[in-house]
Structure 1
Amino acid sequence: MPGTELPHSPTRPLPGAGRTAVVTGASSGIGAATAARLAAEGFDVVVAARRMDRLTELAESVGGRALPLDVTDPSSVAAFADALDRVDVLVNNAGGAFDANRVEAADLDSWARTYEVNVLGTVRLTKALLPALRASGAGDVLFVSSTAALASYEGGASYTSAKHGVHTLAETLRLELNGEPVRVLEIAPGMVRTEEFSLNRLGSADKADAVYRGVREPLVADDVADCIAWAVTRPHHVNIDLMVVRPLAQASTYKVARE
C-alpha cells in the first residue's frame, strides 16, 4: 500500500539502533546465530567466548566486536566488563551439558563443570554487567535456559539441575530488580540441533545424531535466535518472562514424533 513502511525501511530505524548487545557462548550454535540476528536488527554486537579464532571470524562477518571471555574465570569476567563502555542487552547463552549419566553413576567432576558454566558463570557475568545495564536506562538481561529447566528426565540430572538453577536465577533476579529499568527475560528451547551440543554431551557423532534421528525438522539455532531478537526488541514495558519454544514434533520432553 502507498505510504506503508516496511519494518526495516530506510525511513524507519532498526530496533537495535544505538544499543549494544553482549552475547556469550557466541563461538557456535545459538550464540553465533543470535549475534548475527541482533546485528541485522541494528545492535552493536559484542561477541564473547573462549575460542577467539571463531569469534574474530564471526565479528568480522556481522560487523561486531570480539572479546575473549571465560565465564568460569573471575579475572576473565572482570577484564571483559572493564573493556565495555556500554551494555544495553546481555544474552546469557554460555552453557552446555557434559554427560548423560544416571544419578547412581554420577561423575561429580562433570556435575561441577556443568554447574560452574551454566549457573555460577552466568551469575558472575550478570553481576559484573548489572551496573552498565542499569546505567543504560533500559537494560535487558536474557537467559537462555532450556526445557530441561522445567522438567526432569532419566540421565539428565546434572544438566537439568543446572538449568533449573538458571530458571530460578532469572525468576529471583526479576523480583529483585522490580521497579528498576532492567527487564529479565528467559527463553527455554527444547530440541535444537546444533553442531556441538549433543556431541559435547555424548562424545560421539553417532550418539549425537541418534538424538535427532527420525525427527522432522528439529529446531535450529536460527529459530532460537529469532525468538531472542523478538523478545529484546519489544517495547521496554513489555517483559517476556518466559518463552518455551519446541519443534512441532516435540510435544514434551518425553513425547517426540519420529518417522
Structure 2
Amino acid sequence: MKFQHFRNATLVIEAGDKVILVDPMLGDKGTQPTFTLFRFKAQKNPIVPLPENCFPVLERVTHCLITHQHPDHIDKAAEEWLIRKNIPVICSEKDEKHFRKKGLAVSQVIKYWETADFLGGSIMGIPATHGYGFVAKPMGNVMGYFIELPDQPSIYISADTVYTPDVDKALREFQPDITVAACGTAQLDLFKPLLMTPDEIVKFIQNSPKKVICNHMEAVNHCPTTRAKLKARLEKEGLLDKVYIPEDGDTFEVTF
C-alpha cells in the first residue's frame, strides 16, 4: 500500500488500481480565514501551499473518502475539483445530504459500526469525537474508517478525534496494520482542544498494533503541535520507530 501525504489531513492511498483521495484540502495558501485570532497567531489558511508533486497523482484518483465537512478536510477548491472530475465520493450517513446538495457524486454512504462492501473489500464507520467536553457538540459529526482491501494491509483512519472508548475499541478489536492519527492538537480561541493532546497521541501510538501515520500538523493555524515537537516526544517515549511523520508531499510505502 502506497501513500502520499499532501498537507494537513489530505493524503492519497494507492491500493492496486484504486487511488483513494482522503479529506482533500486543495485550495491555494491563504484562501480560507484564520481559525484563531489570539490563542495562536492569526493567519489565513492553509498556511502552506500544496506541494507541486501532489498534482500528478490527482489525475489518477479513482475515489474520494471524506471524514467530515470542515473546510480543512474538504474546501471549496476540492468540492469544485471533485464535481468537475465526477469522482465517486464515500462519506458518513450524517454528511450525505450536505454533500449531495453541494453537487458531489456520493457513491456510497457509510454507517457507524456497520461493515459494507468497498472496492472488493470492506469498510466500517468508526465514531470520532471532535473535541473534549462541550466543544465537541458544535464541531459536528465526524467518522473514522476501518478499511480492509484484498491483499493489502488493513487501515484505520481515526479522523479528527480525541481518544475515546470507540477509538480504543477500533485499535484493540480490529488490530489494524496501519493507523492514521490527527496529531496537531488543534484548538480554537476558547475551550479545550479539538484533537488528541500529546499524552493521548502517545497512548494512541502505544495501543496501535503496528505502524502509525501522524498528520494534521503545520498546515492550519490552530494546530500548535509541530512535527519537531512530536518527534522529540516520541523519541523520549521510545516510539519513534513505530511512526511515519511525513513532510508535505512525501510518498512512502507500507508492506507487511
Range of TM-score over shorter length: 0.3 to 0.5
Which has the larger Rg? 1
If each structure's strand is expressed as a fraction of its own residues, which one has the higher value? 2
Q: What is the TM-score normalised by the length of structure 1?
A: 0.37
Does 1 or 2 have the higher relative contact order (CA < 8 Å, sep 6+)?
Answer: 2
Structure with greater helix share of residues: 1
TM-score by length of 2: 0.38
